[in-house]
A and B are shown apart, each in its own frame.
Chain A
Amino acid sequence: MADLFTHLVAARVPGAFLRDRRLQALLVLGTFLPDLAGKGLYWVLQSRESSQLATHSVVGVLLLSYLGCLFVEESLRRPGFWLMAAGGVIHILVDLLKDNQGVGAAMLFLPFSTRGSEFGWIDPENVVYLIPFDAAILALAWVLERRCRRVQQ
């Protein structure tokens, strides 16, 4: 898991192009779902740590997004599902950036394959350096979004 701030920024930037704030919130929530579900399984239900692998796979993200969209109003479910799924995919892509010594940051094709994948671009301990960059990108996205809204009004 990268830090949640980086996950937030990775979803918030494309989310700035969505006008409906509820859909923005669903995209951001979708980005957090793999970790929320994984940590929930581990900390709350006391599952084995490896059960978190399921929430960081393509099938896991689709299932979690479907479950999540069932809790919003009917008219929002279809776009909500796709946005939460997009958020989950963004989450996995950010996780794949990490270098886990070739073992893989996620098993994308569970339950069909246990092969781990990673891009291996960032050492996990360097994630802390991303925090100031994340803050700058988030501030920029916020300013641009506000300006766009003013122009539209």
Chain B
Amino acid sequence: MFSNKRYLWKLGAALALIAVMGVSAARRGDSINPMLWRCIAEPARWNDTRLWIPLARIVSLQEASYEIAAGDPEVRLRVEGRAPGAAGDWITLAGTFRAEGPRLDAERSRVLPPRFRLRWLTEAVSVAVLLAVLVNFARHFLFRPKLLQFEKGD
């Protein structure tokens, strides 16, 4: 399994299996949490689908419902239930999409604190860490003929 025997076959098989898994996840994942605009475009198809909307803005409030704007391209959707915040607040919510309306029956929701905008900082740190790790990895695994020559001569 780990030897050099039939190396290219093993490499090809591993790559093929990963590709198959990626395609399968992409196809099945499409129906797990579809984009909001797709639900609005084809409400009957996505009726009763559980949705997680990581980022949405409350546009307007009614007594027992509220309207959100979310997604790219941005679409609007009515949400049943009490709004977790005021108009203009950014929220995250999960619920069940209903074709009638269409609307979302909210199950969980909460207002996002202003620090959710600091995501760029997390991403910047992540990129720096990734570069450092790749440099460290190269230091241990890259083939360096000059180093070998030095060690031999030494």
Residues of A within 8 A of B (CB): 3-5, 8, 21-22, 25, 28-29, 32, 36-37, 41, 47-55, 57, 59-60, 63-64, 66-67, 69-70, 72, 74, 77-78, 81, 100-103, 107, 110-111, 114, 116, 123-128, 131
A48 and B2: CB pair below 8 A? no
* Top 3 A-B pairs, shortest CB-CB distance: A50-B29, A54-B25, A101-B94
B133 and A32: CB pair below 8 A? yes
In the bound complex, what is the Cα–Cα distance between A103 and B7 (angstroms)?
40
A70 and B25: CB pair below 8 A? no
Q: What per-residue 1/0 map shows which CB atoms of B99-114 lie under 8 Å from chain A?
A: 0000000011110110
List of B residues within 8 angstroms of A25 by Cβ? 136-137, 140-141
Given contacts A78-B2, A101-B52, A101-B94, contact A128 B29 (CB under 8 A): no
In the bound complex, what is the Cα–Cα distance between A39 and B12 (angstroms)?
21
B148 → chain A closest CB, angstroms: 14
List of A residues within 8 angstroms of B109 by Cβ? 101
Residues of B within 8 A of A (CB): 2-4, 7, 10-11, 14-15, 17-18, 21-26, 28-30, 32-33, 50, 52, 54, 92-94, 107-110, 112-113, 115-116, 118-119, 121-123, 125-127, 129-130, 133, 136-137, 140-141
Per DSSP, chain B at the interface is helix
Candidates B92, B94, B122, B136; contact of A128 at CB < 8 Å? B122
In the bound complex, what is the Cα–Cα distance between A51 and B18 (angstroms)?
10
B108 and A54: CB pair below 8 A? no
In the bound complex, what is the Cα–Cα distance between A5 and B52 (angstroms)?
26
Given contacts A60-B21, A69-B2, A78-B2, contact A8 B129 (CB under 8 A): yes
A91 → chain B closest CB, angstroms: 13
In the bound complex, what is the Cα–Cα distance between A19 and B91 (angstroms)?
47
List of B residues within 8 angstroms of A131 by Cβ? 121-122, 125
Candidates B21, B122, B140; contact of A59 at CB < 8 Å? B21
In the bound complex, what is the Cα–Cα distance between A25 and B134 (angstroms)?
9
B137 and A70: CB pair below 8 A? no
List of B residues within 8 angstroms of A81 by Cβ? 2
B52 → chain A closest CB, angstroms: 4
